[in-house]
Structure 1
Amino acid sequence: MLLAFLLAACASQPGREEIANRTYVVTGASSGFGRGVATRVGAQGGNVVLAARRAAVLEEVAGEIRAAGGQALVVPTDVSQPDQVEALAAAAEARFGRIDVWVNNAAVASIGRFEEIPVEDHARVVDVNLKGVIYGSHAALRRFRVRGGGTLVNIASVEGRVPIAYHASYSATKHAVIGLGNALNQELRLGGLGDRIAVSTVLPWAVDTPFWQHAGNYSGRTPRMVLMDGPDEVVDAIIRVSVRPTSELAVGWKAKGAVLGQRIWPGLAERIAGDVVHRAQMESGAPAPPTSGSLYAPVAEGTGVAGSARARMAREDAAR
């Protein structure tokens, strides 16, 4: 009973008193996990600094936060540009006086056989998913050291532990984000700051957010993945670790099972994952033309927390 109680307590969501008046910087805040985290934090009285490339959508998110009683600042940002990330941090401090939590959530992807994806698309994935996280982490940790506390939350993926075929550069960047978080936590521990500054890395399973609408795609078929989750559990997890940090958190039983399988029998786990993804992505779904998606410029569609991938896949499967 005691163990069950402790586990339940650890999994409970932070209350308003733990979030109100804290300042969160959230990248990728115009949709998906970023929008979900931003609006929930704002609804609990938090100050939210919204960063993404789609300024008009960020203003919409800001309006939602203000209507719920929170405060919001819009700072259009391309996280692949270090000067823009530094300007984001400076704007947050100028408006709210400090940064308590920085969430590196912005990410892009390009789906298809590695050599059939233009090399510049692979480079762009690295620029956003890895360099963007490095720039955000650098800006946040410098400020956390000055004020003596803070939490950095980096969004990786189960693909950072179990690489996925046809997602090569995306998987590579998520491996790197996990390694970055582990290294930073060691530096903080060695510097005597591990009890005041924390880096949490969150590993979601495949989730139905607008990610699938935004992804570059050279596979010849519409983007697909099996057993997608909804975004709510991941949004909850991000907010939870922002208040009660843990170094690495796989979200949900599928993510936890995949990570465990990789540790026990890595070759088999990767083979199973590859076979599943090949059937889902390369042998199913409707034909689709090649596209770079949102890699180089934002797209208008896909502004919600949840996406439409599961509904689309159901329609495609019913039409077969």
Structure 2
Amino acid sequence: MQNHPLNGKTIVITGASSGAGRMTALQFARYKTCLVLAGRNMVALNETAEQCRNAGAETLVQRTDTGDYEMVKSLARAAKNWKGSIHVWVNNAGVLAAGVFDAVPMELHEKVIRTNLLGYMHGAHAVLRIFKDQGYGTLINNISVGGYLPVPYGSCYSASKFGVLGFFEALKGELADWPHIHVCDLFPAFLNTPGIHHAANYTGKVIKPAPPVFDPVHVARACVRVALVPKPVTYIGFTARPLKWIHIICPAFMSYFTGRIIRKYLDKANLIAETSGNVFDTVEFGMSTHGNNGNIPKPSKTLAASAAVGLLVGFWLTRALSLRRS
């Protein structure tokens, strides 16, 4: 698209080799941007770069493990040296781990925290110095509903996402005197990406995202929107906002409810061998934008209201039964 505000803008995207990161790169490519694509899987990353070039973008590829601060600093330096400035930085790279907390190796918990929490902090630390020198810049963080909704059997994931939310809320307060530097947090509901297939899995069972799952194109389009018109918080998927409010109203119930739902699912799920997935290193499968998880609904206020009412009714019924037993 000619004469678009994003034409020629330098945009860095971490975790661009698959899933929401790859889809975000493809969306930005439509506007003839200059994309710096970061990830651990160079084969998949180069595939993304080629698709973006075909769409009209210039691309630079940089192998980066966001858990390694030196690599993230090198990424920021390469992007700055390439075009002289960085307009948008998208923190997106993340990993998942499932299993009973004390059955998952502690070093795996630590690596999830290093990627999901410290990785986002590394990105912010590296690019903010450039933004301040320029006097402008937009930092976009793909956090997920996991930033405020606990995930039993994914405790280290919850720790990382709750931490990311708190970190960026504090950072926004620090940047109040920098009116042209923006921090934009995205909270998508569960996405139909390969991430769940790449996850470390110590449950011994096949795991799937909780329905409904949403097309990652919604995250990609949200990134473009906030790059054009920065917004502190964006909820993606009709379940994202209701889940937040239900957790605020009845947090203990949500922890109980989600734990019970996951246990019931695992009781019936098919057996699978334990795996550390892509937590410690990249994998060589499922590097597309989508994860073939199905059940991608169209946004609907009616469905959102129904989900909220259903969960609240479940809460009150559970509470009433508990009081009756006592």
- When normalised by structure 1's length, the TM-score is 0.88
CA distance in structure 1 between the aligned counterparts of 2:194 and 2:3, rounded to whole angstroms = 28
- The residue type paired with residue 210 of structure 2 is V
Matched, 1:211 2:202: no
Structure 1 residues 263 and 305: alpha-carbon distance in aligned structure 2, compared to 1, 3 A threshold:
same
Instruction: Find out whether 1:309 has 2:296 as its counterpart.
Output: no
The one-letter code of the counterpart of 2:270 is A
Partners of 2:65 and 2:48 lie apart in 1 by 17
Aligned to 1:199: 183
> Is 1:123 the counterpart of 2:113 in the alignment?
no
Aligned partner of 1:106 in structure 2 is: 93
AA paired with 1:254?
Answer: T
SS in 1 for 2:81: helix
Q: 1:2-33, CA deviations, whole angstroms, 9 ceiling, x for partnerless residues?
A: xxxxxxxxxxxx99713211111000000011
Are the equivalent residues in 2 in contact too, given 1:213–1:301 (CA < 8 A)?
Answer: no
Question: How far 1:40 moved relative to its partner?
Answer: 1.1
Instruction: Tell me by how many angstroms 1:283 deviates.
Output: 2.1
CA distance in 2, matches of 1:204, 1:32: 13
Q: Does 1:44 align with 2:31?
A: yes
SS state at 2:215 partner: coil
| Matching residue of 2:222 | 237
User: Number of residues paired by the alignment?
Assistant: 294
Kindly provide the CA deviation profile for residues 51-86 of structure 1, in whole angstroms up to 9, marking residues without a partner as x: 000112111111111111111000011111111101
Please identify, of 99-108 and 261-270, the stretch whose mean Cα deviation from structure 2 is larger. 261-270
Give, in angstroms, the shift of residue 302 of structure 1: 1.3
Contact 2:184 2:233 (8 Å CA) reproduced: yes
Checking the alignment, whether the CA contact within 8 Å between 1:204 and 1:252 is kept in structure 2 is yes
**Correspondence 1:183 to 2:173:** no
Opposite residue 215 of structure 2, the aligned amino acid is G
Compute the RMSD of aligned alpha carbons. Answer: 1.6
Counting aligned pairs with the same residue, the percent is 34
Q: Which residue is equivalent to 2:255?
A: 270
Q: Aligned with 1:309: secondary structure?
A: coil
After superposition, residues 118-197 of structure 1 pair within 5 angstroms as: 118-189=105-176, 192-193=177-178, 195-197=179-181
Whole-angstrom CA distance in 1 between matches of 2:2 and 2:151: 36
Name the counterpart of 2:298.
Answer: none
**For 1:174 and 1:49, how far apart are their aligned partners in 2?**
24
Contact 1:181 1:247 in 2 (8 A): no
Q: For the residues of structure 2 that align with 1:293 and 1:268, how far apart are their CA atoms?
A: 31
Structure 1 contact 164–277 (Cα < 8 Å) conserved: no
**In structure 1, which of residues 268, 286, 289 is the aligned counterpart of residue 270 of structure 2?**
286
For structure 1, the residue ranges without an aligned partner over 5 or more in a row are 1-13, 312-320
Q: How far apart are the structure 1 equivalents of 2:239 and 2:23?
A: 21
Corresponding residue for residue 58 of structure 1: 45
Distance in structure 2 (CA, Å) of the matches to 1:253 and 1:15: 33
Q: Is the 8 A contact 1:225 1:277 kept in 2?
A: no
Structure 1 position 217, deviation (Å): 0.1
Matched residues in 2 for 1:16 and 1:217: separation?
47
SS of 1:283's equivalent in the other structure is helix
Asked whether the equivalents of residues 196 and 209 of structure 2 are also in contact (C-alpha less than 8 Å), the reply is no
> Do the aligned partners of 1:27 and 1:103 also contact (CA within 8 Å) in 2?
yes
Indicate yes or no: 2:279 matched with 1:259.
no
Secondary structure of the residue that 1:263 maps to in structure 2? helix
1:86 aligns with 2:73: yes
Residue 5 (structure 1) aligns with:
none
Shift in Å, 1:218: 0.4
Deviations 1:74-119, CA, capped at 9 Å, x for gaps: 0011111111101101110111111001011000111011111111
Work out whether residues 224 and 285 of structure 1, in 8 Å CA contact, stay in contact via their aligned partners in 2: no
Partner of 1:249: 234
